[in-house]
Amino acid sequence: MPAGDHETMRALSDAQVQQFIEDGFIRIDRAFPRELADAGRAILWRDTGCDPDDPTTWRKPVIRLGYYEQAPFRTAVNTPVLHAAFDRLVGKGRWRPRHSLGSFPVRFPGPDNPGDTGWHVDVSFPGEPSDPNDFSSWRVNMTSRGRALLMLFLFSDVTDQDAPTRIRAGSHLDMARFLAPAARSACPIWCWTGWGLTGRRRWRPVKPAPFICVIPS
């Protein structure tokens, strides 16, 4: 859908909000114009140093890129459709607009293990004695104030054959029970290493929640 013709407003339905409460994530299709995805993807391809038309240049299973503030990314994260969704899920005046997106894992087919395919929880803030630059030492608790939503933006078409990120439906409920004893003191990421996430909830192909999956037109 051309950028000029893109939808200006589309509120989440009551059913979608209820799904977000129960499953911990919501998928929002046609959230930003495909032209922005194409422009953003061109920037990402450039920074990988790989040629999208030459698989011989795809030498690693994954290349991680940082945060991007260029116009395609700033615009994609601030469409009226997404702002309306943020208002519905978080509340008007309770969130701050982003001016960048990242980080970006760019994945390539191949036999090598990328080393990052296990389940994880995204931590929220540094604690004592955390290193602010070492995310593995950061912490999370039941409230994680200052962080309202975790967003996954797809800048390319992704199928179950394209190494998609998986979301553990309902994991926000399991993790809340697990984190409850820590209360506001928070828990470092290593405190749940080995904690089982299998067998109790249904699987969906596409990361623990609350979560928004954002798809272009």
pLDDT at 158: 87
pLDDT at 126: 78
The separation between CA 160 and the C-alpha centre of its own chain, rounded to angstroms, equals 17
pLDDT in tens, the chain (217 residues): 444 445 556 789 999 999 999 999 999 999 999 999 999 999 999 999 999 999 999 999 999 999 999 999 999 999 999 999 999 999 999 999 999 998 999 999 989 988 888 777 777 777 777 777 777 777 777 777 777 888 999 999 888 888 788 888 888 888 888 878 876 666 766 555 444 444 333 333 334 445 567 667 6
Residue at token pair 């899920």: 89
What pTM value is reported for the model?
0.81
Contacts of 181 (CB under 8 A, 6+ apart): none
CA R_g for the chain: 18
- CA 115 to CA 89: how far, in whole Å? 33
Contacts of 44 (CB under 8 A, 6+ apart): 65, 68, 104, 106, 155
pLDDT at 69: 97
Beta strands 62-65 and 104-107 are antiparallel
H or E element that contains 214: strand 211-216
Angle at 132 between CA 195 and CA 121, to 5 degrees: 25
Peptide bond before residue 185 is cis, with ω within 30 degrees of 0: no
pLDDT at 44: 97
Going by the DSSP 8-state scheme, the letter that residue 52 receives in this structure is T
